[in-house]
Amino acid sequence: MKIGVLALQGAFREHEQVLGSLGARYTEVRQPEDLHGCDGLVLPGGETTTQRKLAQTYGLWEPMEKLGRQGMPILATCAGLILLAKRIDEEPGSSMDLLDIDVRRNAYGRQVFSFETPLTVPCLDGVHDPADSFRAIFIRAPRITRVGPAVTVLASHKEDPVAVEQGNILGLCFHPELTPDTRFHIYFLEKVRNREASRPGRGTAAGIRVTAGHGS
């Protein structure tokens, strides 16, 4: 099992550190050929416009969109979530439209207004014991303003959805890679492993360690 991490801009190295700590193989994705052999994809936080322009310039936009539509598991955090949304700031046509949500960029305020907050995330209860709240870090975070019928809300902050899932896509408004709590990455890797196990001729994918600790 190998995870591609979009490494054009943003917090990709932090995601790589978490994946490495969990025993998962990863590769940095900067060119279309870097996607070959990947079983999952991480779209990190950063600057949305820059990431989109670089992905289009280097020919990654369409291949990533195609893989997402074919069912490749994708973990998209902050800017990555924005790239997958159906509409950004009520303007369609500037994203991959893989996740049936509308988002508003930087809706929680500028970087000076960054904050941390505990989230109740029931889907993580079976990923780590005990089932503690997840302390989420919001930095210039997008706000999800609409959720489509096929989207499951995994966690909310003050009634706003902040963690969502639609089939192969896991989208987070916050930065799980900046905390010692690895449960969202474990949850994502399990999605990758389950897909690989269900594919004809692939058998059971290589296991990952799921006992990594998490901090408070």
**SS3 state at 99:** strand
**Residue of 128, 157, 175, 185 marked catalytic:** 175
CA gap 116, 125 in Å, rounded? 20
Burial 157-176 (b: 16+ CB within 10 A, else e): beeebbbbbbebbbbbbbbb
Our answer to whether residue 16 is catalytic in this structure is: no
Our answer to whether residue 177 is catalytic in this structure is: yes
Our answer to whether residue 173 is catalytic in this structure is: no
Tell me if 44 sits within 8 A of 80, measured CB to CB. yes
Give the contacts of 82 (CB within 8 A, at least 6 positions apart). 48, 88, 95, 103, 105, 142
Tell me if 172 sits within 8 A of 76, measured CB to CB. yes
Q: Which ranges of 58-135 would DSSP assign to H, the alpha helix?
A: 61-69, 79-84
**Residue of 15, 16, 78, 165 marked catalytic:** 78
Token output for 133: 């709240």
Establish whether the linkage from the previous residue to 149 is cis, with ω within 30° of 0. Answer: no
Token output for 86: 């159906």
**Residue of 14, 16, 165, 177 marked catalytic:** 177
Which residues carry out catalysis? 78, 175, 177
